[in-house]
Structures are given as C-alpha cells and as structure tokens.
Amino acid sequence: MRKTMIIPTYWCRKTGDPWQEGDAVYDHPTPVDQEGTLERTLVSMKQFSEKDFKLVILICPTTPEVEAAAYEQVLRIVGRAQLNAETYLFTAGDLREITEILRKAGLNDRGVQLLSMFGYSNVRNVCLLAASILTADAALLIDDDEVFELPDFVPRSLEFLGRRVYGDIVHGVAGYYLNSKGQYYDDVRPEPWMTYWDRFGCKARAFDQIIGSGPRLKRTPFAFGGAMILHRELFECVPFDPLVTRGEDVDYLINSRIFGFSFFLDNTLSIKHLPQPKSHPQWKRLREDIYRFVYQRAKMQSQHKTGNLVHVSPEDFDPYPGEFLKPDLDEKIYRSSMMLSSQYLANNNPDAAMEAMRNIYIAKHNAPPAFDAFRAYLDTQAQWEKLIRLVRQERYAVRAVLERHNISAPEIHLDKEHRRRLTREELLAVLAKLPIFSVFTEQEHAVFFDYCHVKTYYEHETVFTSGDYNEEVCLVLKGKLRLVANREANSRSAPLEIAYLTPGSFLGENCLSHSVFRLSGTAAEFTELLCISRGRLKALLEEHPAIGVKLLQCFLASLSEKIMRSNELRREAAAYDHNAVNEK
C-alpha cells in the first residue's frame, strides 16, 4: 500500500507585526522569525520502524507576503531533522501552478475555488490533493503540534484500512489525542457558564465509550483532524466542506457517512497533542462553535432523498457531536451566552459581556445559511470528483511540480532518453541500501560510478514495449514498474497484468544476448532505474572481471528466481484447470 503522510504547517508575519485585513486566521500560526513546533513533530518521527512512506509538508502562509520566508524556515527545520522518509515541501506557489495546469485542462471556476490554502477545510483538501498527486493508497493526516510516541504508528494505522470489519470496509481510521498528562480527555477546566454548553462533558462521554473500552476497532461518531487515515477511495470522492470554518474533521466524518463510507476509531492509535495556548477570548471561541454547529445542523436538516446516499441524523453521532446538532441547540446557545455574559460582568469586563450577548443574535440571524447547505455540499463533492479526474489526466505535469520540491532527491536534469548522471556519493548511498549488492565491497561499489546512469519516469510513462530490443540491464531504485502482456491484436481485452517490479528488482538481465522484450513495462508511480548499457557492461567485464563475475552471478540469481516463480504460476494454473475440468 502506497502511503503519504501530510503535515500542514501555518506561518504568519514576524513577531510584533500586527495581523492585517485579508490575512488568513488560524489558532496559532508561527511567526516566520520563530521556530514553532514543526521540528518537534519531525524529530519524533525518527523512531519509526516503518520508513517506506512519502512525507509532504504543506506550507500555509497567512499572507503571500511571508511565503518566501516561511519556505526558507521550513527548509531549515526539515534539514535539521534529517529524516529518512522521502520529503516534499508543498508551497502556495506550487498550488498556484497546479491550479493553472488544471484550469487549462478544463477546471471551472467552482473547481478552482477548492484549491486554496486559506481556511482549515481548504488546507485539508490540499492535503488530499497532494496524496492524490503522489498516487497514495492511504493519506495520513497529521498536524505540526503533535508528537509521535508509537514506533509502529504507520503500520498500525494501516492495519485495517481497506479491510472488511463487521461487514463494512474500513475506508477511514481515526486515531486519538493524548494530552500533556497522557490522558485522552480535553485538557480544560470546567467553568460555570459551561453548564448548558457541556461540550467537553459530551466529548468525555464519547471518548470513554469509543476510546476507553473494547474492542480495539469501533465505529466512531467523531474524529481528530491530526490523526486521520483515509483510503484513496474515500479521499478522492469526499472532500472537506470549505464552508465549515471549524470542526472540519467531525464534519468530514459526517459527510463520509452520507456517501456510504465507514469510519472506525482504533483505540491503540494514539498521538500526543501539545497545542499552543489559545489566544482568542472565550466569547469568540463560543461564537466559532455556534457557526460550526448551526451550519452542520442545517446541512443535516436539509438532506433530501438522493440515490446512493445515506440519510443521517444527530442520533447517529451521539453523544458527540450529536448532542449539539439537535433542535435544542438554540436553547443551549441562549442559556450559555447569558451565563457567559454574566460571568464577564462579574469580572468587570462589559465589552466581552456584550460580545457574549451578541452570540445569541448571531445564532439566530447570521449563523444559519441562507442557502441549502446539503445541496451546496453535493455541488462541492461533484466539483471535487471532476478535479480529481483532471489530476489523473494531467498527472505527469502536476507531479513534476511537486518533484521540484522533493528535498530528499538531488535536482533531476533529464536528457531526451530520460537519463541523468549520479554523483559518486549518491551512487554509494543507493547501492549500500540494496541487499543484492551486499556481495560487493565499498571499493567495488565505487567502480560502478563510471558505468551507470539513472533513468527517471513519471507515473504512467512507458518504459519499454513488447518487441523493443533489450539494450541495457536495469535495477529498480525507486517506485514500481508494472509489467503487462499484450493480448492478440484482434482482442478487445485490456493488457494482462503479469507482475510489479519493486526496488531491488532487476530488469533486462539477458541484455548481452541481443534479446527483445516479451512484455511491456510502464511506471506505476514515479520510478527511477539504475542502468548499465550493453556496451558499458561489456567494458566492465573486460576492465574489472572480478566485479563483472559477481554482477553476472546476481543476474543469474535474479533469472533463476523469476523462472522458479514462473513455474509455480504454471503449476497453479494447471491445477486450477484440472479441478475445473473434474467439476464439470
């Protein structure tokens, strides 16, 4: 399963520079002259037992004025972390370029609106976009104020994804947060005004039911945006709702349920959440909750019968968030705002008391959408599917944009034959990681520098076609090569998939015999091949015969393994045909 972890990181103006009209608003963006919490998250990843995944760091500036400074800051932080994972930096400039590519391919204005880094839901959608561009089967959504404590977090998060559990296929897995004390409860102190706005009490009851009891995997009414694992079938179908400004994670779970996808929580999949203290006053945080719940309730109430969709109700999400999506939400808002206002007055803060009172008016007149929220989301979902289809269509171009900021790889300059030269240090690092080259000494590894080159292919590019002459032997360094057998010319059937070659696999071992390829090969994802041409291989054998003999032994071992596997498949096919005949 191809996996991509995406971590958005938020950056604002320098310390002391005030927020300006038009800047994006986030809970705690990091000033570009400070370090923030991202490095702490990245360093905690160094304990991972699983490093076979791509990491995308989404750099989200609150204003275009800090884009360059934010990029340089993140680049320094990632460099210090020294992760082994293949790492991409996804910038606002990259998004603009990708948007222009898709616009030229036919993306309309409504689709373009989905490609934005302003607002939490939009940022989450760009996370999903990155996973789609990198052809991930699983998207792991993580935040930059978290610390990993599980060395097996990645394989554990994928253990059930795509499998059938309790009659449903698991398309979404939710992990959960641990606070600074190692508990799964919200680290908040109850206040008197919360008597009728018992959000944290409802969450605690929900957490006890889903996290604090067995079995390990349970259907869940809530999810955490910084610990969500999504299957490709889900994230390429269901987007985050851009009209939801807060609570986009729970809203996504609700939307997923409407579209028939199942979300489960794994009560062993924890991550420590260490957010910065909130700077907004309590009346403003309550107001954000009001906008969120009033909108979500309106979307749920405006559901109408539509083919293949599932009708959901607040009770499906009890105790949280269901308790805040019911008809008594208005009463909760009124009582809580009155009590909060009284609390402010008792503390001699009349301005804040007035803002708390205004929440009652806002809940009645401003928060309810003046449009059909359910129909609006259906339109957003339709636009998202069109966008994803265009991403597939323009995969080569949009992938090339991301590859420019693949900081784990050297800059790639290709000639017309897809070739690039390796540095000596890069070659030694590559060969040292390949078990099949363990028979060679480090000095022998260095000899290959004068004989090898790398060929690079983007997803769906043809590497060779049946009937082409085999002119070189290649070793898969990165990615995956799909081998297919072409059917008869008069057949309408699709090519028959034979196998996938993964890193460490040889291709073209018999190039010295002037043979032709019997199969066709295409890159199943971004792929690099380490190649030696027939002429350079002959030169290697003549100039370094001891190394040449070892290399030929590697070729023979590879061919022997392929022949054995082919014979096994033939026996299995023959046994199947024999059983089929006997049954008749």
Of 352, 383, 401, at which residue does a domain stop?
A: 401
Q: Are residues 395 and 426 in the same domain?
A: no
Where do we find the tokens 């005030």?
Answer: 18
**Is 206 within a domain?**
yes
What the block records as the tokens of 221 is: 């009414």
Q: Quick check: is 565 in a domain?
A: no
Q: Is residue 141 part of a domain?
A: yes
Does residue 252 form part of some domain?
Answer: yes
Are 426 and 397 found together in one domain? no
State whether 379 and 448 are in the same domain.
no
Looking at residues 374-394, what average pLDDT do you find? 96
Note whether residue 31 is domain-resident.
Answer: yes
Same domain, 228 and 302: yes
Domain boundary among 381, 401, 421: 401
Q: Which of 51-60, 120-129, 443-452, 545-554 has the highest mean pLDDT?
A: 120-129
Which is higher by pLDDT, 553 or 8? Answer: 8
CATH of the domain at 329: 3.90.550.10
Q: What is the Cα Rg of the chain in Å?
A: 28
Q: What is the C-alpha separation between 53 and 7, in angstroms, rounded? A: 13
DSSP state of 360: H
Residue 225: Cβ within 10 Å count: 22
393 and 281 belong to one structural domain? yes
208 and 250 co-located in one domain = yes
Whole-number Å distance between alpha carbons of 33 and 70: 9
Domain containing residue 478: 410-558
498 and 381 fall within a common domain: no
Residue 578 lies in a domain: no
| Structure confidence by residue, pLDDT tens digits, 523-564 | 888 788 888 888 888 899 999 999 888 888 888 888 888 788
Bridge partner residues of 229 (DSSP): 140, 173
User: What letter does residue 323 receive in the DSSP assignment?
Assistant: G
Mean pLDDT of the chain: 89
* pLDDT at 240 > cutoff 60: yes
* CATH number of domain containing 473: 2.60.120.10
Q: Which of 401, 427, 443 is the last residue of a domain?
A: 401
Query: Is 454 or 255 the better-scoring residue by pLDDT?
Result: 255
CA 138 to chain centroid, in Å, comes to 6
Confidence class for position 417, pLDDT limits 50, 70, 90: low
The crossing angle, in degrees rounded to 10, of helices 329-346 and 282-301 is: 170
User: How far is 364 from 360, CA to CA, in rounded Å?
Assistant: 7
Residue 568, in any domain of the structure: no
Quick check: 572 pLDDT over 70? no
Does a structural domain hold residue 574? no
Provide the 10 A C-beta neighbour count for residue 338: 16
Residues 390 and 496 in one domain: no
pLDDT at 519: 87
Report pLDDT for 183: 95
With 0-12 CB in 10 A as exposed, 13-18 as middle and 19+ as buried, what is 250? buried
pLDDT of residue 1: 80
Looking only at the bridges linking them, the beta strands covering 419-420 and 86-90 are unpaired
E-assigned strand segments in 65-186: 86-90, 138-142, 146-147, 164-165, 168-178
Closest CA to 167 of 219, 123, 244: 219
d(C-alpha 516, C-alpha 332), whole Å: 75
pTM above 0.85, yes or no: no
The residues with which 8 forms a beta bridge, in sequence order, are 58
Residues 430, 319 within the same domain: no
**Cβ neighbour number for residue 373 with a 10 Å cutoff:** 23
Separation CA 37–CA 275 (nearest Å): 9
Q: DSSP 3-state assignment of 9?
A: strand
Q: How many domains does the chain have?
A: 2
Same domain, 439 and 316: no
Residue, of 70 and 524, whose pLDDT is higher: 70
Query: What distance in Å separates the CA atoms of residue 327 and residue 300, rounded to the nearest whole number?
Result: 12
- CA-based nearest residue to 264, from 178, 177, 186, 166: 166
340 and 449 in a single domain? The answer is: no
Whether residues 182 and 287 fall in one domain: yes
